[in-house]
Structure 1
Amino acid sequence: MVKRMSVAVLAAVTLGLLVTPPGQAAGAARYVAMGSSFAAGPGIPPQQPGTPAACGRSTKNYASLVAGERGFALTDVTCSGATTANILTTGQAGQPPQIEAVTRETRLVTITIGGNDVGYVGSLFTYGCQNTGGANCGQVDQDAVRAALTTVHEKIGAVIAAVHQRAPRARVLVADYLTIVPRTAPACDGVPLTPEQLAFEREVADRLAAATRRAARAERATLIPAAAVSADHDACAAVPWMERYAAAPGRVPYHPNEAGMAAVADLITARLR
C-alpha cells in the first residue's frame, strides 16, 4: 500500500471522487451527487477508482453520465446503504457526512435518498432470502416500515434544506427510486415474492415516491420522477432497468442496471436543458 498521499488525493478519498470529464472547460460548474446505492450504482462496472469499495460508486452511475454529458466538475459522495443521517450527520465507510461536500461554489446537487430510512430494499432482500430457502434471513416488520414512511418526507426535506443553506445558488434535483417490482403483473421467476409480499412492496414504493415528491415540493427542489418513468421497466419487464433477486455474478440484486442509470441521467439532462 502507498504510505503517503498528496493533500489533493487525500481530499478526494475523504470527500468523494472529483470526476473531471474529458475536455472539461476551466471553471466548469461544480456538481455534487449525494444519496444511497440507487445513486451510487453498485455492481455496475467499472467502479470508480479511489473510493471506498463499500460505497459501490460506478463510473456509469447517473451522476457520472450527467457530468460527462454536460461537462460538470463532479464530486460524487454517493454510498450504498446511506440513510438521510449519513448525508447530514453520520459518517459512513470512513467518510464524513455527504453534506460536507456541498459548498457555496456548488451549482448543482442531485439526491436519491430515503429508501434505507424505511427499509425498502432491505425488506425485499429479506423476503427473497426467506422464499429461496436462505438461512438467517431475519424478518420484515411491516408495521415499522409503515411507521417510518409517515415521517420520511421530513427527513428527505431536511436534506434538501441543508443543501440550500450550504449552497444558496445551487439547483437541487431529487430523483426518486426506480421501480423494482411489477406495478400490476404477478412476480416473475427471479423475483421471489408471494402475492401478499408483492402488494406490500408496491405500497412501500408508492408511499416512498409520494414522500419524495412532497419533500421536493416543500423545500423548492426539482423532482426527477424515476419511479414513474420506469414503471414498465421493473425487474420482471421485457426490458428491465433493474436486477432481479437472482442476479448474475457481480451484480447487486434489486438494484439499477446500466439502462436504469442511463434513463435517470437522461431525465436529469433533459430537465437541465
Structure 2
Amino acid sequence: MTLRRAGAALTLAAVALVMVSACTSTASDPEPAETTASAAPSTPAELGTAYVALGDSYSAGPGIQPADTEQPQCFRSETNWPNLLADAEGLDLADVSCSGATTESALDGVGNEIPAQLDALGEDTSLVTLGIGGNDGGLFSSLIQSCATAAATCQQYVDQQAPEVLSMISTNVADLLGQIAERSPDAQVALVGYLRLAPQTGTCELLGVPAEAADDARRIEQGLEDALAAAATSADVPFVSMREVSTGHDVCAGDEAWVNGAQVTDGDGIVFHPRSAGMQAVAAEVARSL
C-alpha cells in the first residue's frame, strides 16, 4: 500500500475540506451518543426497492475508489455505504449524496451546478437515508482548525460558538426531514449519524489534536450526535447512531480504523473521512436497523 502524508493535520484537513466543498456548498465539510441507535424495525416485505440516498461526504465517500463519474463535483464513490446497502438489500438506488453538502444545499441545490438533493424524491420513493449536518455552520472545519491550534482556542470554540451551531444543526436537520416526509409520504426514512473520529480517551499524531484539547474535541462529536438524535426524535424518524458502533475504530485505531486521520492510503478515502471499512460498517448497521 502506498501511503502519502502532506504536512500537518490542520493543513491536510484544510485541503480536504476545500476539495469536497468548493463546488458544492458555502460551508466546509467534515464528520458523530454515546447515544445508541434507535430504529423502528420493519420486515423486508414492507420495504420497497426505490431507494434515495441523501447526504454529505460521509455518505458520498470522497477518495474511495472506484469513483462515480456521473456527477464528479460531488466526489462520490461507487462503493460508498448507500451503494453497498443497495447491493445487499436488492434496492434500486438513486444516490444524490454530495461532498460538501449542507442542509441548505440539499434543499435548494448549488447554483446551476448541483440540483437540490430533494429533487430525487418522489411519491413512489420507498426508502430514504439522510446523513448530514456536520457542514452546517462550518462545525467540523471549525473544530479541526480550533482544536489543532491550541487547547485554549479549542475550549473557547466548544464553550462559546459550538452550542449555537449545534442547536441550529438540530433545527435544520429536523426541518429537512419534514421536507422529505412531504415529498415522499410513504417512504421509510432513516437519519444516519457520523463515525467516531477521536478515540474514547487520549489522542494520537494522526488526529492532530493535542492531549489537552482532546476532551473538548470529543464534546463536539458527542454534541453533534445528540443534535442529530434530537432532530430525528422531533421528526419522528429512526436515528441510526454510528458512534457506539465505531468505538475502537477511530482515527487512532491503526489497521482497525474506519476513518482516516492525517495520513491516507491511496484510493481509500481522504483525510478525516471514512475508509472503505467504515463504509462497510455503516451499510451493515443501516441494514440491521431496517
TM-score (norm 1): 0.80
- Structure 1 residue runs of 5 or longer lacking an equivalent are 1-27, 132-139
Match of 1:161 in 2: 178
CA contact (8 A) 1:83 1:114 kept: yes
1:61 to 68, 80, 85: 80
Distance 1:217 1:183, change over 3 A: same
Is structure 2 residue 259 aligned with structure 1 residue 259? no
User: Equivalents in 2 of 1:155, 1:175: separation in Å?
Assistant: 15
Where does 1:105-116 land on structure 2 (aligned, <5 Å)?
Answer: 105-116=124-135
Instruction: Give me the CA root mean square deviation.
Output: 2.0
1:248 to 259, 265, 268: 265
Distance 1:105 1:95, change over 3 A: same
Is structure 2 residue 264 aligned with structure 1 residue 270? no
Structure 1 runs (4+) deviating above 3 angstroms are 127-131, 248-251
- The Cα shift of 1:197 comes to 2.9
User: Equivalents in 2 of 1:86, 1:214: separation in Å?
Assistant: 21
Distance 1:233 1:41, change over 3 A: same
Match of 2:70 in 1: 50
CA contact (8 A) 2:193 2:242 kept: yes
2:252 to 236, 239, 248: 236
Percent of pairs identical after alignment?
A: 33
User: Equivalents in 1 of 2:149, 2:118: separation in Å?
Assistant: 36
CA contact (8 A) 2:86 2:92 kept: yes
- Per-residue deviation, residues 241-265 of structure 1 (Å, max 9, x unmatched): 0101222345411101011110110
Is structure 2 residue 226 aligned with structure 1 residue 210? yes
CA contact (8 A) 1:119 1:145 kept: no
CA contact (8 A) 2:146 2:157 kept: no
Q: Residue 129 of structure 2 aligns to a residue in which SS?
A: strand
Q: Output the amino acid matched with 1:209.
A: E
CA contact (8 A) 1:88 1:97 kept: yes
Match of 1:25 in 2: none
CA contact (8 A) 1:40 1:57 kept: yes
Q: Structure with the greater relative contact order (CA < 8 A, sep ≥ 6): 1 or 2? A: 2
User: Equivalents in 1 of 2:68, 2:208: separation in Å?
Assistant: 31
Distance 1:38 1:203, change over 3 A: same
Q: Residue 153 of structure 1 aligns to a residue in which SS?
A: helix
User: Equivalents in 2 of 1:197, 1:123: separation in Å?
Assistant: 14
- The Cα shift of 1:118 comes to 4.0
Q: Residue 226 of structure 1 aligns to a residue in which SS?
A: coil
Match of 2:168 in 1: 151
CA contact (8 A) 2:258 2:277 kept: yes
- The Cα shift of 1:169 comes to 0.5
User: Equivalents in 2 of 1:119, 1:200: separation in Å?
Assistant: 17
User: Equivalents in 1 of 2:68, 2:77: separation in Å?
Assistant: 5
Q: Residue 247 of structure 1 aligns to a residue in which SS?
A: strand
Aligned length: 235
Match of 1:137 in 2: none
Distance 1:55 1:148, change over 3 A: same
- The Cα shift of 1:144 comes to 2.5
